[in-house]
Structure 1
Amino acid sequence: MKTKKIGFLLSLLAFFYILTTTKPVVADTLLEQVNKDYNVPKSDLPETGIVIEAENGQIFWEQDATKSINAAELSNLMTTYLVLEAIHNGTLSLETKVIATQNDEAIGQIKSLNNNNIIAGIEYTVRDLLKLAVTPSSNVATLMLANLLEEQDGRFVTKMNNKAVELGMTQTTFNTATGIPAVQFEGYYQPEGYDSNAENITTAKDLASLAYHLLRDFPSVLDTTKETSFTILPDSLYEETFQTDNDTLYGRPFAFKGADGLKTSHSEAGFNAITTARRNGLRLITVLTGVGDSAQPESERSLYPISNTLMEQIFDTYEYKEIVSAGQQEINDKTVLVENDWYAVVKKGSQPTFTLQGETLTLTDALPIISDTALPLSVSYREITSNIEKNIDQHTFLAQLINVIEITKLTILALGTTFLGLIFLLMSIFIPIVPEDKEKLANRKRPHTPPLPMKKIMRWAGLAIFLVGIGILLVQYIL
């Protein structure tokens, strides 16, 4: 425990050194900062943690973020991701109804697990089951969702592991859909091919990556996670109401401005939370695990002061803003054309620097990124070398017109050819017809083929050149 505390405090000193812009050295530790507004004992410091931003996944702070931990019921977020993905693909909808089975009802009666009262034969919507899986961490609701996507339990867990790889969760292994070892389900649940005693193994960094992709791919999940309470099957014999455990939400004891998610859980190592908040376009994701002692429920309250303090410090220091405007820009002594406005998270008051390589503009002073699967901190650009092109790009209308119709060298050739053909056609109109001398024609003793008049030559040449130009345009923009 002593080693854990020392390592954590050292990492916090580094964290505040990075964040602070006005002081070269920061004497206060995070715990001291937390306890300016709260009262958190040293024994409740997290075992692992990380804070990232939700745009590109830049890491602001981390504490043993790659250390293997028990994912516990935070695993439900992966099940949630797969369900929302199925809804996005049209396989399901939030109003899809699921009829509870006898097996579901039996799981719901296992008192040692987080559950709710599921009744066999009763219909539950996917919307309700998602709320139950995320807020009270209902194991039976999570399994009902999993069975909706895959009838075989083992196949669904395999799907979870495949998605983890896809999302860049390189140190994660799922063994159950809920995070609870299968042996605790008293024979009612056993994924084929997986160890019944195995926990779901992950890291704080992988959990942050999962939360990052969940929020980017399916931001509607926040409609569920921001609720402080909800009721299922209202006005029926089976009505149940649930309260959130996320105390950072509005109206809760540790309400944090902008907080709207995401998930809490606990394991033998302590209490865990993935929290998120958004202010002025900047969204943060915080993962804390192993806080306090799971045998002492009151220590769960330490999650939120620590999370709030970390996020408050970062909101005070960083901002989400436009760092490059669309259009012609002078960057690193080069004139470049950027197609779209570029927004990113940067330190307040700083002047971003960039690297130009190939046709990619990269933010030089970016922080480390959560995963290769996050959006890159870069945009494409085109270097402008000719004065004509520079002058065109300075005129907004012309630049936009060129971008819309995608003018290329082939386009210029086609337009030039078409214009030349039109000139020939116009010239043929104004060339006079010169009649031949009738007396000369009468004196000819043998048939004579008259030369092709210049008027016809110009007309047909012009028409041919014009059609060639039109043909080039058709090939480029239609075919």
Structure 2
Amino acid sequence: MLFFSLFAGASSAKAEAALNVNADGAILVDGETGKVLYEKNADTVLGIASMTKMMTEYLLLESVKKGKVKWDQEYTPSDLVYKISQRTDLSNVPLRPDDKYKIRELYEAMAIYSANAATIAIAEKIGGSETNFVKMMNDKAKKLGLKDYKFVNSTGLNNRDYNGQQPQGTGAEDENVMSSRAVAKLAFHLINDFPEVLKTASTPKKTFREGTTDQIKMDNWNWMLPSLTYGYEGMDGLKTGTTDFAGYCFTGTASRDGKRFITVVQNAKDASGQGGYKARFDETRKMMDYAFSNYTKEEVLPKHYQVKGHKTIPVVKGKSDQVKVYTKSAINMVILNGEKKEYKPVLVLDKNKVNKKGELTAPIKKGEKIGTVTIQPKNGEKVSFLTEEGQKKVQVDLIAAQDVEKANWFVLMMSGIGGFFGDVWHGISKTVKGWF
């Protein structure tokens, strides 16, 4: 199929004019298609701190789905995991070296409380060692099409916190880094490939090992969950991150009225230039408010839409010399309020289906794919999507609306004869005209 880009840069310009996000890097995207609605230094590589854990979550959920790991499997802490778990200066739940822990409770500690030792435990369980797991993280990032990233551990801690026991092949001062676009792309894959992650990520509080001497109250670090300090309607994920290197970071996602958005802020600051927990949530709120107030999900093209000037396609060797075509389904997309009329359909015929004259060859079956229809804004400005898969969500099949049977041999022969004599007559006519 021929490839066409979509264009709509005016949306980005309006967003930049309306927003002033105080962060070193930021991005706002549609959670369903990955359409980028706003960005600031989105390709600058910055620290990500515990937003790293989204990749660990992805690999765990993938392993569970493939049956490589089970939720009720048990894990006995390694020496490193035990030592890290006892550090109260890091986000942790206490783990004993002589106890066993189910994968599910380690996952909940990681996703809700950003527990670092629990995260390393999961990495060891899946990869055999955190060193192997880090390789899996980088390999998966490449497979997901991420750019501008580097994973050196499973947690987002600075490697110095490992006290010399960091993953092999990484330096003592190494940090996990990504661009805002790459973080958003990871989050996009996580919530679309494994939407169940939001059930855990949206848990405001839970008690780890309740009823034991090791019980600890886990308050979700995402204080924008509706019942928490900076509660925001529809917020149900996803991951915070804070270190001296990365600053205050947050990947948020919220859903309302059939719309979902994903935001990322890296090293967020307040108006005075100071970082803080409130700053990352305030800057996230700016983007979320803008998105929910200014964007709507619209049916831009209806099902069975016929493109003007291309309602039929010529057919050769058929009982009919043309076939009616229309879109198989509707095209829905998040667009700025009131801009539905600013888009136009773009038809692309499958070059393997038509000849050089743009004709189809019979027989043709009703419902047969003839090409695709996508939409593009009339102003011709560019819009970007996080993934090709997301972009294809605003592209639909163009199909035949009816059968066209192949003509029988006699009709084809007579047509050929008519064509032959037509060509002869055309040649004679040109010659005679040349005499005069």
| TM-score where L is the length of structure 1 | 0.69
Displacement of 1:288: 0.5
Q: Secondary structure at the match of 1:334?
A: coil
Q: Does structure 2 conserve the Cα–Cα contact (< 8 Å) formed by 1:66 and 1:204? A: yes
Quote the Cα distance in structure 1 between the aligned partners of 2:190 and 2:388.
16
Q: Does structure 2 conserve the Cα–Cα contact (< 8 Å) formed by 1:146 and 1:156? A: yes
Give the RMSD, CA atoms, in angstroms: 2.6
Partner of 1:337: 326
2:344 to 326, 349, 353: 353
Which has more strand, going by share of residues? 2
Q: Does structure 2 conserve the Cα–Cα contact (< 8 Å) formed by 1:114 and 1:137? A: yes
Letter in 2 for 1:256: Y
Q: Does structure 2 conserve the Cα–Cα contact (< 8 Å) formed by 1:334 and 1:383? A: no
Which has more helix, going by share of residues? 1
Q: Does structure 2 conserve the Cα–Cα contact (< 8 Å) formed by 1:56 and 1:377? A: yes
Equivalences, count: 356
Q: Does structure 1 conserve the Cα–Cα contact (< 8 Å) formed by 2:30 and 2:262? A: yes
| Residues 145, 364 of structure 1: alpha-carbon distance in 2 compared, 3 angstrom cutoff | same
Quote the Cα distance in structure 2 between the aligned partners of 1:339 and 1:381.
6
Q: After superposition, give the CA deviation of every residue in 1:203-254 in whole Å (9 maximum; x if it has no partner).
A: 1111000000001100100001111101121112221111112121111222
Quote the Cα distance in structure 2 between the aligned partners of 1:142 and 1:306.
28
Letter in 1 for 2:14: I
Worse overlay, 92-101 or 356-365: 92-101
| Residues 29, 153 of structure 1: alpha-carbon distance in 2 compared, 3 angstrom cutoff | closer
Partner of 1:154: 131
Q: Does structure 2 conserve the Cα–Cα contact (< 8 Å) formed by 1:362 and 1:377? A: no
Quote the Cα distance in structure 1 between the aligned partners of 2:49 and 2:208.
24
Quote the Cα distance in structure 1 between the aligned partners of 2:12 and 2:393.
24
Q: Does structure 1 conserve the Cα–Cα contact (< 8 Å) formed by 2:35 and 2:391? A: no
Quote the Cα distance in structure 1 between the aligned partners of 2:39 and 2:161.
33
Displacement of 1:409: 5.0
Letter in 2 for 1:232: F
Partner of 1:279: 256
Q: After superposition, give the CA deviation of every residue in 1:360-382 in whole Å (9 maximum; x if it has no partner).
A: 21221373212445452443423
Partner of 1:18: 14
| Residues 339, 137 of structure 1: alpha-carbon distance in 2 compared, 3 angstrom cutoff | same
| TM-score where L is the length of structure 2 | 0.75
Q: Note the residue ranges of structure 2 that are not aligned, 5 or more in a row.
A: 1-9, 312-324, 350-370, 409-436
Letter in 2 for 1:140: A
| Residues 112, 236 of structure 1: alpha-carbon distance in 2 compared, 3 angstrom cutoff | closer
Aligned pairs (5 A) from 1:217-366: 217-268=193-244, 269-292=246-269, 299-326=276-303, 328-335=304-311, 336-349=325-338, 350-351=340-341, 352-358=343-349, 359-365=371-377
Q: After superposition, give the CA deviation of every residue in 1:66-92 in whole Å (9 maximum; x if it has no partner).
A: 111112111111001000011111222
Quote the Cα distance in structure 2 between the aligned partners of 1:298 and 1:61.
21
1:203 to 179, 183, 191: 179
1:73 to 18, 35, 50: 50
Paired-residue identity, %:
24
Letter in 1 for 2:170: Y
Quote the Cα distance in structure 1 between the aligned partners of 2:30 and 2:56.
23
Are 2:166 and 1:190 equivalent residues in the alignment? yes
1:177 to 154, 166, 171: 154
1:370 to 369, 380, 386: 386
Q: Does structure 2 conserve the Cα–Cα contact (< 8 Å) formed by 1:48 and 1:289? A: yes
Higher relative contact order (CA 8 A, sep 6+): 2
Q: After superposition, give the CA deviation of every residue in 1:126-146 in whole Å (9 maximum; x if it has no partner).
A: 222112112322111111000
Are 2:395 and 1:379 equivalent residues in the alignment? yes
| Residues 181, 354 of structure 1: alpha-carbon distance in 2 compared, 3 angstrom cutoff | same
Quote the Cα distance in structure 1 between the aligned partners of 2:70 and 2:332.
33
Quote the Cα distance in structure 2 between the aligned partners of 1:149 and 1:224.
20
| Residues 408, 160 of structure 1: alpha-carbon distance in 2 compared, 3 angstrom cutoff | farther
Q: Secondary structure at the match of 1:344?
A: strand
Q: Does structure 2 conserve the Cα–Cα contact (< 8 Å) formed by 1:354 and 1:364? A: yes
| Residues 16, 372 of structure 1: alpha-carbon distance in 2 compared, 3 angstrom cutoff | closer
Q: Note the residue ranges of structure 1 that are not aligned, 5 or more in a row.
A: 1-13, 21-25, 32-44, 393-406, 414-479
Q: Does structure 2 conserve the Cα–Cα contact (< 8 Å) formed by 1:275 and 1:287? A: yes
Runs of 4+ in structure 1 displaced over 6 angstroms? none
Letter in 1 for 2:130: D
